[in-house]
Structure 1
Amino acid sequence: MSRPSSLTKTAIIVAVFAIAVGVRFFNYQNRIIFGPEQAMSLLISGQMLEKPSLLGQPYFRTTSRGHQLFTAPFFNYSLVPLMLLFKYRPMPITVFFTLLNLLTGLTLYHLTKKVFNFWTALFSSILFLFSSFMVGHSLFIWSLNWLPLLGLLVLFGLYRFYQTRSTQYSLYLGFLSGLILGLEYFYLLTLILVVGILLYYSKSKIKNAFYYLLGSIFAGMPMILFDLKHYFYHTRSVWQYFMDTLANPGQGHITYYHFLHFWPLLAILGGNILTRLWSKKRFLPVVTIIFLYMFLNLDLQPKLPAGVSLADWESAASVIADQRPENFNVASLLDFDTRAHQLRYFLKYYFHLEPEVYDNYNRISALYVLAPEEANLSPVNYELNSFYPYKVQKLSTNESGYSVYKLIK
């Protein structure tokens, strides 16, 4: 194994992170994603400023009994200070999640270097930082974007517990696991694995199990308090959803983002393989693999929902705000989100105008719709059908080819 000087190591890792920063921030304004889920997250977090809540945001899924599932409030709590600090602007809030992803890569490098060596840490961080999934996730606000960092800390916590057998790591692991479970229920499978490893290497199984449970309770305290006040509504809803999934496995829709907490582990495994090749002086294959990996994962093209940028949404909201409307609602004909959550966010926090609630599309004076230019404005969905019949006025068309329409009686 070659042994570069400390200065060379520093130069290499600085160069890697500089490239990772450049890949993420290149054409940043036009690449960040502000879709309906991002707008909903900010709207719900904004509501917490008006009325604090023990629950986070709702899932799109409901149980067979019509009960809504919710995340733990940790993610929305983390958004509140960002919204206040950045005056509700989505772009700098998104920058926080970009930096969070880079911080995860830096933490991965630091911890892997402690456990293994410089080369394993370097290769692992490269595999993590230049994964197209990680680059993509660093460009939008989302609760699950916390999972890679939390998963990495769980992994290191297990390693430290194995070394020390200290109960403080049981408490630490319980707290982290509680946070992750509150964000992603599929983590339950990993949680069982973590508990199994913890107990297997424990000198005092009961004591460590107690501390792990205590840490989990601390992390899940808001939802526990909610359940105690509401006859275990959320626990019963999660159980019902679990039973529904057993009865109808297809509704679970398991996909990669349910396992984002494993991304650092996969990077470390890949880093170890590359280090073994490097130690056998197979420099050319390793360098080739890394460059091919970075090249194949490099995609700097915008991947915007329905092709609509953050600036497009803000511009459309500005057009509506210029009308100074009262008793109005908004809709969109761009994707599945026909309720136009992005418009609602900008209107409320930029222009201090609040559309009517989601189910009131018939008792209003005007309906503003963002749609492609020359779109068919016939009553094709619930929102337009509820307001029908109506007259259509085109207010503006932006450079991206999207128009704001005003529908009136």
Structure 2
Amino acid sequence: MSILKLALKSSTVQSIRQLSGSSGSDVVVVSALRTPIGSFRGSLSQLSAAQMATQVIKALISQSSVKPEQIDEVIMGHILTHGGGQHPTRQAVINSGLPSATVTSTVNKLCASGMKSLMLASGLLSLKQANIMIAGGMESMSNVPFILKRGDTNYGHTQLYDALLSDGLMDAFHNIHMGNCGENTAKKYGITREDQDKFAIGSYEKSAAAAKAGLFDKERISVTVPDRKSGTKTISDDEEYHKVDFNKIGSLKSVFQKDGTITAANASKLNDGAAVSLLMRSNTASELGLQPLAKIVDYADNEIEPIDFPIAPVEAMRKLLDRNGLKAHNVTMWEINEAFSVVPLVNIKLLGLDAQKVNIHGGAVSLGHPIGMSGARIVNHLAHTLKSGEFGIASICNGGGGASAILIQGN
């Protein structure tokens, strides 16, 4: 081996060792919880996004020794706020029992909103502008209203616009559905219908196996939902993965284009849910006697042409690897959000990843994709799953050509 290669290898090993170290200013995830994920107009549809977030924030505080008045700020990703009342994040903060002095912010970076909230909170903690924060994401896609544009009430008929589409699922630059962008990527990179169907089946199988093994239990709470018959009922399980019919997957018609590759089975679904994390610096956790789940090592964003959004995570993840002296094989576990099956497939292809390390417990295709929540959910799952010293990367693409990614290390 040449002197240059030895030097590079030594440099990489040293970088990894430095990452594995700890300092009192490291930002850590102390607790990470989520609601079950409900299907569209399904088990959680009686709850608003704020009501789901309220329940999960209450549980987060209840499970830790942190007092409500110790929380400096709450940042939540939330996209489709229409009809949810003024400042849904503020509603969740006040109704969960946090003091009115708690600073509250909402982030809209489309599907990356929940992850971006965690990134912003980490930055504030690193700058010591806050000591303890809650960050995450929420979405009730079941309750997004139709819109009557102001001024569109002339004599005769008028038109309603679906805010779920216009503000969440439609590319604003080409006026096409995000699925059409996915079709463009599939064609450009040779990702076939068979590839996507196989991946989707695997996602459902992995989610079902993980649920059966209790691997979601530490991260998932039970929520209370209004019920006409009994007054209230408790929802404890994710809804979507139970609804698959494997016999029909191969025969489903494409959704977005004639003779296309994306179907209702190999794409993510419309869903409801909320996820949050309790973040602080490691010295604060020590002072409070709290054992962190994981350390947030680094995070990155990337932006490309809007139609190519499915491959935006590639450069975000490369930035994390390059900046931290890591190679793909140094990462134990990858969470790449399954907006469509083509997204993780093309990212695996372009980064040369070991597919056995990607979404090992399923993803949005089978569990669901409440768009403001998903970025936080996949980080939470990494935090609960990584063993001490192991590195994990979570990444999620967003409409408009963007993506966010976070590198974390198990504690």
Q: Report the TM-score range of the alignment, normalised by the length of the smaller protein.
A: under 0.3
Q: TM-score, normalised by structure 1?
A: 0.23
Structure showing greater relative contact order (alpha-carbon pairs closer than 8 Å, 6 or more residues apart)? 2
Q: If you compute each CA radius of gyration, which structure gives the higher value, 1 or 2?
A: 1
Q: Which has the higher helix share?
A: 1
Q: Which has the higher strand share?
A: 2
